[in-house]
Amino acid sequence: MESETVAVKVKVGSEGRPALTVIPKHVAIIMDGNGRWAKKRFLPRVEGHRNGAKSVRSTVEEARRLGVRYLTLFAFSTENWRRPSDEVGGLMQLFVRHLESELDVLLKNGVRLRAMGDIDRLPEGVRDLLKRNEEKTKHLDGMDLILAVSYGGRDEVVQAMKKIGRAIKAGEVDPESITEEMVSSSLYLPDVPDPDLLIRTSDETRISNFLLWQLAYAEIVVTSVLWPDFTTDEFHRCLHVFAGRNRRFGRTQEQIDGK
């Protein structure tokens, strides 16, 4: 499913940044490098995650200010459950603190919080708080902040196939009638358009089982910056790279230009 970009004129701020003329409707970010950030400073890995939370806040606020409609953050993967139990426990505690402290920021900025993934696998306290904040912000329409938590792209596709399979078994769907649109509508958040832009920090070039179906036509921008060091300036740089890309979706340039 092709996603449309939204042209937005943005005035140069006091920081002297050049103007952005094209803002992606949906930005997805793989927030990588928290552990390496901490290791470089001889700190526990959880300190990297704690400092990474500051980058989350600044990025959310800037994305909202610029007019990004959907921001999806890869917060915790299904594979992350394999990490040492003390790190996973520290991350879960950090989730709770972040969900508690950031609710007022979301409400103030008109940001709706949503989650996608195997949420039932989360500790009860995290799960309940996440659901409460989703409920408290569901009426907001300034931007959707989507947290991919306990999320795996393959698992999402498997769940979609099971959903379609049940419909086939019940006689509600003819297998020959299955379309891309039907698969998309069976994913976790079917109302959310595919990402226009995927940003991955820390110079990693994998998509790491993230939004495997939805990233089909996303532009990918990789930055060497570790996530705790990801600033609004670096966010702007990534958006400028995106704005310079020529997105043809399989068509020729002549077709796009109408020649």
Spell out the long-range contacts of 34-43 with Cβ–Cβ below 8 A and sequence spacing 24 or more. Answer: 34/226, 34/227, 34/228, 36/202, 36/226, 37/226, 37/227, 37/228, 37/229
Close Cβ partners of 75 (under 8 Å, ≥ 6 residues apart):
31, 95, 147, 148, 149, 151
Task: With CA atoms as reference, report the closest residue to 76 among 57, 61, 94.
Answer: 94
CA 226 to chain centroid, in Å, comes to: 17
- Which one is catalytic: 32, 144, 194, 196? 32
Tell me the CA end-to-end span of the chain in Å, nearest whole number.
Answer: 25
> What is the identity of the amino acid at 93?
Q
Known active-site residue 257: no
C-beta neighbour count of 234 within 10 angstroms: 17
- Which one is catalytic: 80, 109, 118, 155? 80
Sign of the C-alpha dihedral computed for residues 230, 196, 79 and 205 taken in this order: negative
Known active-site residue 34: no
Catalytic residues: 32, 80
